[in-house]
Amino acid sequence: MVTRVDFAFGAADRLLKACEVTQKQVAAGRRLVVYTRHAARLQKFDRLLWQFEATAFVPHVMSDDPLAAQTPVLLEAQAPSPELAQAGAWLLNLDTECPPGAEHFERVLEIVSGHPEDKQAARQRWRRYQETGFELRAHDISGG
């Protein structure tokens, strides 16, 4: 199996778009691991999942939570578990670098804002994924 990486370019707000993508994946019945090493970014994403839409509820917990096995969205600050990948979960990367163990997942989702630093980091991730032999797809979500 070759891991497919989908880059969504042109998001107005990376974390807000990540909330929408997460909600969509949960509604489709998919399990999702959301990864970043940055604790502050993970905490901000956690808060956004509760408030990005007034009527939305996206069940999520930290990966070490006792309810993790029953929760569709796991927030992860360490290397994502290969067991989650084997169970069919997809990986949403919110880190500035490629997530460790990405090759274990069937699909990796990347969201990129128009911010120059975000675009530059995404280009580096794209090259790294390409060098590793992942299947890459780009999607323009800028709406323009």
**Comparing 144 with 48, which gets the higher pLDDT?**
48
Identify the DSSP state of 30. Answer: -
Indicate the domain borders of the chain. 4-140
Residue 52 near residue 19, CB atoms below 8 Å: yes
Residue 5 near residue 129, CB atoms below 8 Å: yes
Query: What's residue 144's pLDDT?
Result: 60
pTM above 0.85, yes or no: yes
Q: With a cut of 90, say whether residue 56 has pLDDT above it.
A: no
Query: What's residue 143's pLDDT?
Result: 81
Listed residue (125, 139, 138) closest to 95, CA to CA: 125
CATH number of 4-140: 3.40.50.10110
Residue 60 near residue 74, CB atoms below 8 Å: yes
Q: Mean pLDDT throughout 30-40?
A: 96
